[in-house]
Amino acid sequence: MLKKIPVFRLTTGMYIHDLNCGWMDHPFMANRFAIDDVETLRKIQAMGVLEVYIDTSRGLDVADESTAAAAADTEPSAPRAGKPAREVPRRTGGTQPAELLRVRKLHGEATRLVAEMMQDVRLGRQIELEKCEPVVEEIVVSIFRKPDLLLPLLQVKTRDEYTFQHSVAAAALAAAFGRTLNVPRDVIREVAIGGLLHDVGKAMLPDSLLKKPGKLTHEEYELVKGHVDFGTSVLKNTTGLSEIAYQAVAEHHERFDGTGYPCGLKGDDISIYGQMLAIVDVYDAITSLRPYHKPIPPTEALRSLFEWSKCQFNPTLVQAFIKGIGIYPAGSLVRMESGRLGVVREVVPDRLLQPVVKVFYDATKHSYMAPRIVELAAGDDKIVAHESFEHWNIDQAAWL
């Protein structure tokens, strides 16, 4: 039996009958397949489609999945992270589907663009900047129109596509950072292009090294550091690339105290564009799932950046970045004083401790609840801590 369901209701064990999009609009080798693992599930969620068709004769049904979860839940309701939760309720409210679909499609298209571009570099082809510029312009437009819509999507990554998704995140975060600094829009666009291209040199490194699950040896680390020089050598031959974008790429691993690479530049010898990209690169990296690193919550990452600004980063720029992203960035999971968990939906610039939150989980009963939008500035509740999606066994992508 075929059934059309929202993407956020998908789970492992289901069988995809139709992805509800064209053959060229998805990354899979087939249109019909079983969702055998979490990586496949996240790839579907990152595509940008809102609904898909499943075949319940060849895999789990939504009802089967929720019934199985409820049957397994035989322990008393008590606060305990990691325990499988009761059925996830249908999300309500929030952004209109058309706008959300547009941003998700943009994210998917940008990720595929980076993947294709890095494949071209591996084959010795030049980067075609004219393909990058329209996508970056759409990213900038989205950041200026509704930053809290795109930025949370950047947090969801897959191990297989991390390098590509990280480049998209760097572009969007660079645009958001530039907006906070009141940088001219044409400059923001160039810094964002630098963000999209900043890791292009990794195309010259073997996948086995980029996806190594353990700590790199000294020799391996030195090889990885070479990606900056690999990238700049490619970009020197890229027609139409601005000096701003080039500096951002060349300097994104330099550090304010002179401990970075490849040139060991220090202080204001590093362009502001390189300083900006260094901050967004590290922030996105430490908040992302990587083969050798578990993500840390955005709020904790911002705290780390603040500590590192005493030596490695320009403290004035770090403070501006934190102000722009928010103490509790959009997409963060937070615990309320009421005992509810929710995801931050919108950052309020002049009330960084009082964002708009969608609450959906009762941490004291360890069960989902009907989603509700809470404007903390109205005094309905307050945040007492940031939380980890992984710690609570909550699918982050389903609530962004």
Tell me: the pLDDT tens digits for 310-352? 999 999 999 999 999 998 999 999 999 999 999 999 998 888 8
Question: Considering only CA atoms, which of 199, 26, 203, 18 is closest in space to residue 109?
Answer: 26
Helix (H, G, I), strand (E, B) or coil at 294: coil
Number of helices and strands (H, E) in the chain?
A: 14, 9
* pLDDT at residue 49 in the model: 72
Helix (H, G, I), strand (E, B) or coil at 323: helix
Helix (H, G, I), strand (E, B) or coil at 395: coil
* pLDDT at residue 13 in the model: 85
* pLDDT at residue 48 in the model: 67
Low-confidence ranges of the chain (pLDDT < 70): 22-25, 48, 63-97, 291
Other Cβ atoms less than 10 A from the Cβ of 121: the count is: 19
Distance between CA atoms of residues 278 and 300, nearest Å = 18
Distance between CA atoms of residues 335 and 26, nearest Å = 35
Distance between CA atoms of residues 318 and 296, nearest Å = 18
Distance between CA atoms of residues 165 and 96, nearest Å = 24
User: CA torsion angle for 304, 306, 311, 312 (degrees, to 10)?
Assistant: 70
DSSP 171-206: HHHHHHHHHHTT--HHHHHHHHHHHHHTTGGGGGS-
